[in-house]
Structure 1
Amino acid sequence: MTKDKTVLITGCSMGLGAATATYFANNGWNVVATMRSPDSNNTLEQRSNILVLKLDVQDKSTIKQSIEKAIDYFGKIDVVINNAGFGMNGIFESIPEERVIEQFDVNVFGAMNVTRAILPHFREKQNGLILNISSGVGVFGLPLGSLYTASKFALEGFTEAISYELASIGVVVKLIEPGAVAETGFPKRSAQEFGSYKAPVEYNRIIQSMGGVFQKFRTNADPDALSKVVQCIYLASTDNTNQLRYLVTEDIVPMVKLRRECSEEKFMTKMREIFNYELFR
């Protein structure tokens, strides 16, 4: 097979993963598009530079097998994009412990397992790039999103820490921080998760208040967000820099700037204002 650049992407059955796989393939890359159930979920166009493989980030054996098959087929892997993930929304008290564990198992430990599995290959080559898909809520917390927020905070910390370690062996690690991407199936699944667990009635006021806040977020979401995030991922994969974080979509820029550029007092005052704090303090 061709010796051009090869990218392995997790979570390609739909949404951002599928769009990213197609974009890289259209730009001449060899693409290893992985997903949990390729036979039933594969919507990618069949082409010579796309290899669809089964990879479940909760199953280490499928991670190992996919990496081995990809290297055997394309000769090497240059970039790994940890995209697989989902959002668990709702009142923390109402969400069962097993779902809490699942949230971290997919969003954090899944990315860690894929990273650990690819590192021997990258060490041998003395180069490689790992892109972890984070979120604006990996920077600031949102009520009713405590578990998803916590998982992305963890991913941010993990990625930043290993970026120093892996730089010593020629491997670059980066974070993509998008806001709302309505064109994917992510918001729909998050809404389904939210409706799965009934919270105690004492939380009704904050749930009702946040409904209006989230509606404003959806209204202000960038209609071209998916395209912009995909292009940012491609830029981060090809710009030959060691830039750690890439902030995408304008909807979250004000809150990220508040978090990173303002005092704690100013940040918390503004966020409580956004979340209609008087209703539930």
Structure 2
Amino acid sequence: MTIASRTVLITGTSSGFGEATVRRFAAAGWNVIATLRNPPAAPDFPKNVLVKRLDVQDRSSIEMAIAEGTAQFGSIDVLVNNAGFGLHGFFETTRREKMLQQFEVNVFGLMDVTRAILPQMRAQRHGVILNVTSGAGVFGLPMISLYAASKFAVEGFSEALMHEVAPFGIAVKLTEPGGVRETRFGQRAGAEASGALDIADYAPLQERATAVFAAIADSRSHGTSDEVAEVIVAAATDGSTQLRYVATDGIKPWVEARRKNGEDAYIETMRAAVGLGAL
């Protein structure tokens, strides 16, 4: 199969990682189906990009985008599940409806898109499903408990699904980026937590955790959405069975603490990072 005949469908392409990934695949000669909730607001993509509406909370839009993309290009070889958002705030202070929305978008929406593409990939006996998670799918920090829970869920789902679909020639992969400055994640996450309950007991920890996130933001100049997109495209096209790809250097020390150290050393590292000290 030539590159010109390959097709990728990407969700959440209005900005950030999704937009950059569309441009990377298009520049490499792929047919690209760029999906987002509001197509009239789509960026000015290259001519080999088909823009379609897809809201991960609307299953009919998922099915329509896949059907129209398949009709245009013949088949879909790669799915990049990028759509998602992040809540910022303490679990106890976050209203239940926001908690449900976090999982409806980041977990169940991703699952619905994956379920919709699997029959085609299974029939053609090849395909790649690449799920964009986060460093927050590897380690937990205060004030992103619900976001981390959703990304941990996607990590577990992807690892198990990998085994289920491997007999059909389908690879499942995870790309784990940290934050990058131009995604404005912290600003959007803070907005998503608006209307949260006010519990004074959390104020001291909030001050420390906010300082940690500010320090992370200040260190992001070396990471860009395009660099994350480069990792996404490489992971989707390397032909390997590798599951996880860490996409930004800034989170690598914490990822290594999680995956290479013992539990006690890892917990100590993370508590020190948020200024809590030893248990």
TM-score when normalising by structure 2: 0.95
How far did residue 188 of structure 1 move?
Answer: 2.1
Kindly provide the CA deviation profile for residues 149-171 of structure 1, in whole angstroms up to 9, marking residues without a partner as x: 00000000000000011101110
Name the aligned partner's letter for residue 213 of structure 2: F
Q: 1:79-118 alignment to 2 at 5 Å?
A: 79-118=78-117
- The alignment status of 1:58 with 2:84, answered yes or no, reads no
Looking at structure 2, the residues matched to 146 and 175 of structure 1 have their Cα atoms a distance apart, in angstroms, of 20
- Secondary structure of 1:168's counterpart equals helix
- Secondary structure of 2:50's counterpart equals strand
Kindly tell me: are residues 63 and 29 of structure 1, through their superposed partners in 2, closer, same or farther at Cα, counting changes over 3 Å?
same
Match of 1:237 in 2: 236
Match of 1:43 in 2: 43
- Secondary structure of 1:277's counterpart equals coil
- On the 8 A contact 1:64/1:117 being kept in 2, the answer is yes
Q: Unaligned stretches of 5+ in structure 1?
A: none
Kindly provide the CA deviation profile for residues 187-245 of structure 1, in whole angstroms up to 9, marking residues without a partner as x: 32112224542431111000111111111111122433312211001101111111000
Match of 1:189 in 2: 188
How far did residue 70 of structure 1 move?
Answer: 0.3
Match of 2:13 in 1: 12
Q: Which moved more, 1:231-240 or 1:149-158?
A: 231-240
Looking at structure 2, the residues matched to 250 and 25 of structure 1 have their Cα atoms a distance apart, in angstroms, of 25
How far did residue 3 of structure 1 move?
Answer: 5.9
Match of 2:170 in 1: 171
Looking at structure 2, the residues matched to 140 and 209 of structure 1 have their Cα atoms a distance apart, in angstroms, of 18
Match of 1:159 in 2: 158
Kindly provide the CA deviation profile for residues 30-68 of structure 1, in whole angstroms up to 9, marking residues without a partner as x: 0000001112x2113251x11000000001000001000
Looking at structure 2, the residues matched to 171 and 133 of structure 1 have their Cα atoms a distance apart, in angstroms, of 17
Match of 1:201 in 2: 200
Kindly tell me: are residues 195 and 209 of structure 1, through their superposed partners in 2, closer, same or farther at Cα, counting changes over 3 Å?
farther
Name the aligned partner's letter for residue 86 of structure 1: F
- Root-mean-square deviation (CA, aligned residues, Å) is 1.6
Identity of aligned residues (%): 45
Looking at structure 2, the residues matched to 79 and 126 of structure 1 have their Cα atoms a distance apart, in angstroms, of 12
- On the 8 A contact 1:71/1:77 being kept in 2, the answer is yes
Match of 2:250 in 1: 251
- On the 8 A contact 1:222/1:251 being kept in 2, the answer is no
How far did residue 248 of structure 1 move?
Answer: 1.4
Match of 2:30 in 1: 29
Looking at structure 1, the residues matched to 213 and 163 of structure 2 have their Cα atoms a distance apart, in angstroms, of 36
- On the 8 A contact 2:82/2:132 being kept in 1, the answer is yes
Looking at structure 2, the residues matched to 194 and 7 of structure 1 have their Cα atoms a distance apart, in angstroms, of 33
Kindly provide the CA deviation profile for residues 4-24 of structure 1, in whole angstroms up to 9, marking residues without a partner as x: 110000001111111111111
Match of 2:142 in 1: 143
Looking at structure 1, the residues matched to 9 and 95 of structure 2 have their Cα atoms a distance apart, in angstroms, of 33
- Secondary structure of 1:81's counterpart equals strand
Looking at structure 1, the residues matched to 174 and 113 of structure 2 have their Cα atoms a distance apart, in angstroms, of 15
Looking at structure 1, the residues matched to 268 and 232 of structure 2 have their Cα atoms a distance apart, in angstroms, of 33
Looking at structure 1, the residues matched to 274 and 13 of structure 2 have their Cα atoms a distance apart, in angstroms, of 34
- On the 8 A contact 2:78/2:129 being kept in 1, the answer is yes
- On the 8 A contact 1:6/1:32 being kept in 2, the answer is yes
